[in-house]
Structure 1
Amino acid sequence: MQTSDLRIFLAVASASNLSAAARQLDLGPMQVSRRLAALEAELGVRLFHRTTRSLSLTAEGEAFLPFAHTMTDAEESARGQLSPSAASVSGVLRMTAPSVFGQTIVLPLMARLMEQLPGLRIDLDLSDRVLDIVGQGFDLALRIAPLADSELVARKMAPNPRIICAAPGYLARHGRPATLAQLERHHCIVLQAVPKWPLLVNGELQRRRMGGRVLTSSVDAARTAALLGMGVTMLTYWDVRQQLADGTLVRIELEDALMEELSVWAVMPTRRYVPTRVKVFLDALDSELRQGM
């Protein structure tokens, strides 16, 4: 079984389109189709359902997907160990990250990395949902929510505490809350994913439902609403780091409650055969986050 055929299989599975995969691989559609047919013949199963209008993985193709990733990653890891130079960092880094963190931290970092590493490409899913990185073939997920127990490999990258904040104009009009009781009387901008704010009161984690006029599913929208003076919001440090630094948002600290401590986590499907592109990205991200704290 040739790893070149496995890469073709993975490209087609990702694009769900032969022509798009062929363009990505710089091959002709007929060449891609023939190599897929040869791989299916070698495996003795059909990997894709094909019609004139659509292409999708069969159950066998879905089952084969993580094995194909493991085999191609193992080859890349071996090549990286034998020739650990910039030229050896290549391929598509498939990753998912929270939307605001991805836009403000990941994309600028990737722009600099791709200047240095011409063989590196990125397939980035920006979503505040927790995705199945094994089933969907991601190399890496960056997560900020508390991690559930799983067989995935997690690496702590940086602290990311929750922050209560508001625009200076809002605080000038409504006053700056100093206690939990005062905070509960303010207009709060609430994320649908966190309807109750987690607060440490006398060392105990409590979840308080905050009243507010703005409820949103988007971290970006909550931050924008706060910048517009629509109320007090609770986000994480890396979501509002720049706004706190330039003074467009002001951090609010309470006398009788502390905020929950979170972290930025890098989550990978396995500790074995970690592709060189993932290692290089995580090293660069680690350096970036250390400078930004």
Structure 2
Amino acid sequence: MIDLANVAVLVEAVGAGSLAAAARRLRITPMLASRRLAELEEEVGARLMHRTTRSLSLTAEGEAFLPHAQALLEAEVQARAAVRPAASGLSGTLRLTASVPFGRKVVAPLVPAFLQDHPALQVDLLLSDSIVDIVAQGLDLAIRIALLRENTLVARRLADNPRGLYAAPAYLAEHGAPATPADLARHRCLVLTGTSHWTFLAGARTVRQRVSGPFTASSVEALHEACLGGLGIAMLSEWDVREEVAVGHLLPVRMPAAAPEALAIWAVYPTARLVPPKVRLFIAALEQRLRQA
């Protein structure tokens, strides 16, 4: 019989790239992770991974076994959910992180109704415009707006995140509006600290345009406020500027043949194994809110 705890080590090691990282996700010691992987190989009668001090890779047998291993873990999750309804008896603390503007405008407004439905639960929301190491911080969930190239975590796409260029009416009245990405070289662009380019899609082409301006910040909210003050053009998410656009405090800057590169809203977990009901239910509530928006 195959021990699912041993299977989990294989799946997490593939996703994380090392046994040490898999051990951190599963909250076990590296020695125990190594022993469980060896036990799994003994159970299936084949070597599943090449292991050296610097690298970890699947053998041919491991490649063949991996999808079955993932299916075994998913079946376990579904079986547990079938005998214990997700909504019953939620307790403990849900620890999650999001960017400052998204957390304040989208995530935090969900919390009162969610806790009213689950009064024994607590929510701890960490707001940061920097990428937080959710494994090291012991977080259950991260909500990220990105292309998400990070392949060492488990991510689920929740919704599109349309972005656009925006400026205050006073700025556009004085400086005019750019018609192409190249025109931005002559404009004041409000960018995140360390950012030198904005990426646009022009038909089938990707265009990277160098941008600069008198003000940079590590916070999107700071750029938003500077944009409202007429300092320049900012690239912002639609959900972040909906109210200001509705009352005319900000105007969209649209280019006929180009649009900002699309991002998405992602739910990121530290591990695919046994995603807690509190996490699954919160994500469901967030998805519903995003659909309504």
Alignment TM-score, normalising by the size of structure 2: 0.69
Residue 65 of structure 1 contacts residue 137 of structure 1 at CA under 8 Å; is this kept in 2?
no
1: CA distance between counterparts of 2:205 and 2:86?
Answer: 49
2: CA distance between counterparts of 1:217 and 1:102?
Answer: 16
Cα deviation, 1:192-246, whole Å, max 9, x if unaligned, reads 1532111123522222221311111110000000111111111222332333333
Cα deviation, 1:43-93, whole Å, max 9, x if unaligned, reads xxxxxxxxxxxxxxxxxxxx678427xxxxxxx998865442755122111
Read off the aligned partner of 2:249 and give its amino acid letter. T
Task: Describe the shift of the 1:66–1:280 C-alpha distance in structure 2 as closer, same or farther (beyond 3 A).
Answer: same
Residue 77 of structure 1 contacts residue 276 of structure 1 at CA under 8 Å; is this kept in 2?
no
Instruction: Report the RMSD for the aligned CA atoms in angstroms.
Output: 2.7
2: CA distance between counterparts of 1:118 and 1:78?
Answer: 26
**Matched ranges for 1:233-244 at <5 A:** 233-244=234-245
1: CA distance between counterparts of 2:92 and 2:184?
Answer: 49
1:67 paired with 2:68, answer: no
Task: Describe the shift of the 1:184–1:255 C-alpha distance in structure 2 as closer, same or farther (beyond 3 A).
Answer: farther
1: CA distance between counterparts of 2:215 and 2:138?
Answer: 36
1:174 aligns with 175
Residue 26 of structure 2 contacts residue 271 of structure 2 at CA under 8 Å; is this kept in 1?
no
1:137 CA drift (Å): 1.3
2: CA distance between counterparts of 1:122 and 1:221?
Answer: 26
**Matched ranges for 1:1-293 at <5 A:** 66-67=26-27, 81-84=82-85, 86-292=87-293
Residue 167 of structure 1 contacts residue 227 of structure 1 at CA under 8 Å; is this kept in 2?
yes
1: CA distance between counterparts of 2:116 and 2:132?
Answer: 29
Out of 239-248 and 223-232, give the one that drifted further: 239-248
Task: Describe the shift of the 1:255–1:105 C-alpha distance in structure 2 as closer, same or farther (beyond 3 A).
Answer: same
Unaligned runs of at least 5 residues, structure 1: 1-62, 69-75
Task: Describe the shift of the 1:258–1:65 C-alpha distance in structure 2 as closer, same or farther (beyond 3 A).
Answer: closer
Unaligned runs of at least 5 residues, structure 2: 1-22, 29-76
Task: Describe the shift of the 1:94–1:181 C-alpha distance in structure 2 as closer, same or farther (beyond 3 A).
Answer: same
1: CA distance between counterparts of 2:274 and 2:110?
Answer: 24
2: CA distance between counterparts of 1:165 and 1:171?
Answer: 10
2: CA distance between counterparts of 1:80 and 1:92?
Answer: 19
1: CA distance between counterparts of 2:81 and 2:119?
Answer: 15
Counting aligned pairs with the same residue, the percent is: 45
1:188 CA drift (Å): 1.3
Out of 176-185 and 224-233, give the one that drifted further: 176-185
Out of 280-289 and 108-117, give the one that drifted further: 108-117
2: CA distance between counterparts of 1:110 and 1:194?
Answer: 33
Read off the aligned partner of 1:165 and give its amino acid letter. Y
Instruction: Look up the SS of the partner of 1:248 in the other structure.
Output: coil
- In the alignment of these two chains, the number of paired residues is 226
Cα deviation, 1:118-140, whole Å, max 9, x if unaligned, reads 11211111112222212221111
